[in-house]
Structure 1
Amino acid sequence: MKMETARITNPQGLHARSAATIVKLATLFQSSIELKNGAKVANAKNIMALLLLEASKGTQLTVCTNGMDEAQALAQMIRLIEDNFGETSTPSP
C-alpha cells in the first residue's frame, strides 16, 4: 500500500467534472484507489463517493493505492489533483 497527500487548489474544489476526471483516471489502473478527507473515505472509481467527500479548495486529500500498479496510480492521481484536475481557472471579472 502506498499513500500520499495533496492539497486541492482548484477554485471550485472537487465538483462533478473533476470527480469524473478522477474516475476516468482511476479506472485505468488495476489497483484499488481511495481518497480520504478526514474521516470520509471514497473509492476513486465511484463518482458519487467522491462527491460525498465535500472537498473544497484548500482541502488536504490523502490518496491511498494498493495493488500491482499502485506506485504509478499514486503518482498520476497526485499529479491530477495538484494540476487542478486538468482544468484551467479563469479569473473572475
Structure 2
Amino acid sequence: MAVITRTVRIGSAHGLHARPAKMFAQAAKDAGIPVTLAKDAGSPINAASILGVIALGIEQGDYVTLTADGDGADSVLDTLADLLSTDHDAE
C-alpha cells in the first residue's frame, strides 16, 4: 500500500486553536489508520493528538502536509483536508 499525502491550506480565521484542533484530532483518531500532520518542513506529529496539533501553532493561511497509510487513506485524507480548509470560526 502506498503512503498518501496531501498539502492543505488552513481555512479557519484563527488557525487551529482548541475547537478546530479538537474536531480535526478526533476525526484523525476515528479514521482507524495512522495519520500524521506536519507544518512547513517540520517533523510530522500524530494527527490524532490534540496537544500535538495545537503545539504546531498553525495559523490561517499556513500550509500543512497530511500523510496517511492504510486502507481508505485517500478518503480519510479527503475528509481531513476538508476539515482543515474550512473556516470553522465563521459559524
Whether TM-score is above 0.5 comes out as yes
C-alpha RMSD over aligned residues: 1.4
> Whole-Å Cα distance in 1 between the matches of residues 43 and 17 of structure 2?
16
Moved over 4 A (4+): none
The answer on whether the counterparts of 1:41 and 1:53 sit within 8 Å (CA) in structure 2 is no
Which of 40, 43, 50 is matched with 1:47 structurally?
50
1:34 aligned partner, one-letter code: T
Which residue number in structure 2 is paired with residue 22 of structure 1?
A: 24
The answer on whether the counterparts of 1:9 and 1:58 sit within 8 Å (CA) in structure 2 is yes
- 3-state secondary structure, aligned to 2:13: coil
Q: So what's the TM-score if we normalise by structure 1?
A: 0.86
Which residue number in structure 2 is paired with residue 89 of structure 1?
A: 90
The answer on whether the counterparts of 1:31 and 1:66 sit within 8 Å (CA) in structure 2 is yes
Percent sequence identity over aligned pairs: 23
2:21 aligned partner, one-letter code: A
- 3-state secondary structure, aligned to 1:14: coil
Q: Bigger radius of gyration, 1 or 2?
A: 1
Which residue number in structure 1 is paired with residue 73 of structure 2?
A: 70
The answer on whether the counterparts of 2:35 and 2:68 sit within 8 Å (CA) in structure 1 is yes
> Whole-Å Cα distance in 2 between the matches of residues 66 and 14 of structure 1?
23
- 3-state secondary structure, aligned to 1:68: coil
Which runs of 5 or more residues in structure 2 are unaligned? none
